[in-house]
Structure 1
Amino acid sequence: MSVPLLATVLVIAKEPVPGRAKTRLTPPYTAREAAALAEAALADTLHMVRHVPARRRLLVLDGAPGPWLPPGFDVAAQSAGGLDERIAAAFGLCGPGPALLVGMDTPQLTTDLFEGVGRADHDAWFGPAADGGFWALGAAEPERAATLVRGVPMSTGRTGAVQRRRLTEAGLRVSDLPVLRDVDTAADAAEVAARCPAGSRFAAALAALTETGR
C-alpha cells in the first residue's frame, strides 16, 4: 500500500432509513427502494475509502451504524445545525495533518481520483459536483477547512463556486479534483450507475429495481 498522504479521510453520511434518505428519488422509487439505493451508495463509498491511503478513516453519521459499515472506521455522530456547521464540526474531529471529507452521494468513486491528495504542494483539495455543489473538500490544516466552510450556502447551484472562492481568497493553493455527479434524482442514479466500477453495490441495486419494472 502507498504511504499515507492523508492523516484522516472522512465520510459524512445519513443513515439509510426509509423516508429520511434519498427522498428526491421518490417517485419513481418507493421510500424503501430509495433507502436501499442510499445504503448501496454508502457501502460503495465506505469500501472505496478503505483503500485510500490514510492513517485514520472516520464516518461522521446522522443515525446509527448498520451492517453496511465495513471494519476499519471510527464512527462519530454528526453535530446539530445546518450542513455547513456539520461539515465544520466533522473537520473539528480531525487531528493534525491533511484531511479530506467526502459525501455518500457519489458511489462511482475510485481510488485513482484521490491520487496526490494530501501532497505538500497544495493546501486544499476541492471536488466539484455537476449540480453546482461539491463532493469532496480537504485541507492540509483541517481547522482551516472548518473555518472556511462555515457560512457557505448549501444545496444551491452556487455552493461549490462560493466554497472554492473562499479557499482561494484565504490564500490556499487549491488542487481541483474531477467533476462528479451526485445521486439526487432517478436520472442521476441511472447516469452514476453507468459510471460505477465493476462490483458496484449501487449499480447492482439499481439494476435489480430496473428488472422489477422501475
Structure 2
Amino acid sequence: MNSAADEDHDYNYDDELVPYVACCPITPEVAERLAGVARLPLDDPDEVESRLLALGFVDDDLEMDDALARTPEGHYVFTDEHLWVPFAYSYYVGGDLNPEDFWGTLPGWNSQAGAGQEALEAVIEAAVQAFTNVLGMPPAVDVRQDSKGRRYAAWQVDGNRLAVAQTLEPFSYMQDDHAVVYIGQAKTVPDPRSTSI
C-alpha cells in the first residue's frame, strides 16, 4: 500500500510504477448478502456487527485492523456513520513506497498488472448490474462525477441507501481510487451530489 513518506528515508522514485486493479467481485451471492444488510435497521451501531454475523459475515482472522467484519468471499466491512465495503482498488506498484501488490494477496482478491480505469469501470459496471438484478430495479441515481468520470449509483432499500461509488481511497492518503459499496441511512451515506435520492 502507498504510505506517507518517511523524512529519514532516501526513497527511490526512479523505479517504474505499474498500474494495477485488484478486485473482490460483487457476485450475485455477494449482492444478495449486501442487499440483506441494506434491508436491516441500521440505526443502532451497537447491533450492526451481530446482525452482520447473522447474515454470514465473519469477524475472525481479519487482515485489516480497522475492519468490522468480512464476507466469506473476502470483502472487508468498515464502519463510520455508515458501512462501507470496498470491492476494487486502482493503484500503482513499484518503487520504495509501494514495492509489492498488497491487495492482490488478500484472500478472495485478485489483481491485474497493467490495468487502469477501464478495468476498474468494468468491475464497477458488473457490481451495478449485480445489484440491479438482485434488487429488481435500476439505480434511482446513476451519475458520473468529475473529469475522471467517477461513477455513483444508488438505490433506496427499505429506508436505507445502498450505493456503488468510485472514489478516492483513504488508505493511500487519497492518491489512489477504489470502488466501494456504501450502506446506511440516507442521511449518512456519502452522496457526491449532496442531495437526497
* TM-score, length of structure 2 as denominator length: 0.30
Which has the higher relative contact order, 1 or 2, with Cα contacts under 8 A spaced 6 or more apart? 2
TM-score by length of 1: 0.28
